[in-house]
Chains A and B, each alone.
Chain A
Amino acid sequence: MHREPLYTPRRDLVAKYPTYQDRRVARLPTLYWSIQKEDYAKDFPVILTTGRIVEYEGGGEETRSNAWLAQLAREMYIEINPADAADRGIRNGDKVEVLSPTGAKVFVKAMVTPRVAVGESFMPFHFAGVFEGKSLGPKYPEGTEPFVIGEAANTAMTYGYDVVTQIQETKATLCQIKKA
């Protein structure tokens, strides 16, 4: 059965498909309704999801350390629909700030593309090595820094856990995008 994500712009669907009450999963207190009952969509109107790009695998640490793959995808980005980009004065290739309802923000490049619908955005989850605009490159052991580092998409993903397996929410949240 469908349950609406904790962070959603569809309050009508929250009424129809509410999430669980806050509960303990094993010994871990886990929040559900106390997050969903707040309407974050006014300040964070854009739906954000994450996914794969063809060049990298998983967290990307191995594939970003492979020169032949790393040269094909050198920068972390967020896909934004041209309409949303125009509202925010964002042009293709601009640096943008992606703000999450949790207070986290990531600094990435904008890819303005009709591939995502109006009101939606997408980030690839293969990047790491930059945290909220600050490079973690010097923290890698000598010689192990991948060719390409970037903001981790999951920094901007939000609270939320599966009720059975406690797998974290990485696919559906809200964000606001600003020109950086």
Chain B
Amino acid sequence: MAVMKFLCDTKRCIECNGCVTACSNSNSEALVWGIQRRRVVTLKEGEPGEASISVACMHCTDAPCMAVCPANCFYRTDDGIVLHNKATCIGCGYCFYACPFGAPQFPQKTSFGSRGKMDKCTYCAGGPVPDFSKEEVELYGANRIAEGKLPLCAEMCSTKALLAGDAEVISSIYRQRVAARSNPNVIWGYDPQTAADFK
């Protein structure tokens, strides 16, 4: 069984935000203006060693959101994709605190500051409602996995920095790239440094 993952090659990411726009395009029915399930984070902006990485839900194998959810609304598909049920989500925000990637979004602002239903990257795999139903499109967005396609963000990435697919396959692609770059110390765009290196 495949384990679907994202992997962003920070040596290739050019911070074009194409993945963010592709995501907005693919899931437009489920998103409101200003809410992005994916974002590009740039570190050391304008300095030597600048690196960008595209981040969304990483569909963790041991997902902290799933561990902390008091309403048990998360589930994992056979492909290892972490999805959630908006019908049972209570909008408590625990998943947002637990998530190391800031993936959960809370688009609705209602009175008393209540958050509304959580929304996050679905790996373009829809939700727990019937595939391609109107409800699925409006609540969760696209279901490209059911169409046999990968998420649109990775498909549209112009430099192929953002890879999506079976963990085995994309990690071997990444391994080949690192070998070709012959710089095995560079992982995720960083030369490992300690405080002594800055003196």
Contacts and interface: CB of A to CB of B under 8 A. Distances in A.
Interface residues of B, dominant DSSP:
loop
Nearest to B16: A54
B148 interface: no
A114 interface: yes
A180 interface: no
B72 interface: no
Interface residues of A, number: 12
B17 A113 contact: no
Given A114-B46, A114-B47, A115-B46, A68 B24 contact: yes
Contacts of A31: none
Nearest to A147: B33
A86 interface: no
A69 B47 contact: no
B20 interface: yes
Interface string B167-190: 000000000000000000000000
B45 A113 contact: yes
Given A68-B21, A114-B47, A54 B33 contact: no
B88 interface: no
A67 interface: yes
A74 to B, nearest CB: 8
The binding surface of chain A is classed by DSSP as loop
Interface string A94-138: 000000000000000000011110000000000000000000000
A13 interface: no
A69 B21 contact: yes
A72 B21 CA distance: 9
Given A114-B46, A115-B45, A115-B46, A68 B25 contact: yes
A51 to B, nearest CB: 14
A67 to B, nearest CB: 6
A54 B36 CA distance: 17
B20 A72 contact: yes
B34 interface: yes
Contacts of A55: 17
A113 to B, nearest CB: 5
A147 B24 CA distance: 16
B166 interface: no
Contacts of B17: 54-55, 72
Interface in B46-93: 46-47
5 tightest CB-CB pairs across the interface, nearest first? A115-B46, A68-B24, A114-B46, A113-B46, A68-B21
Given A54-B16, A71-B33, 19 more contacts: A54-B15, A54-B17, A55-B17, A67-B24, A67-B33, A68-B21, A68-B24, A68-B25, A68-B28, A69-B21, A71-B24, A71-B34, A71-B36, A72-B20, A72-B36, A113-B46, A114-B46, A115-B45, A115-B46
5 contacts: A68-B28, A69-B21, A72-B17, A116-B46, A147-B33
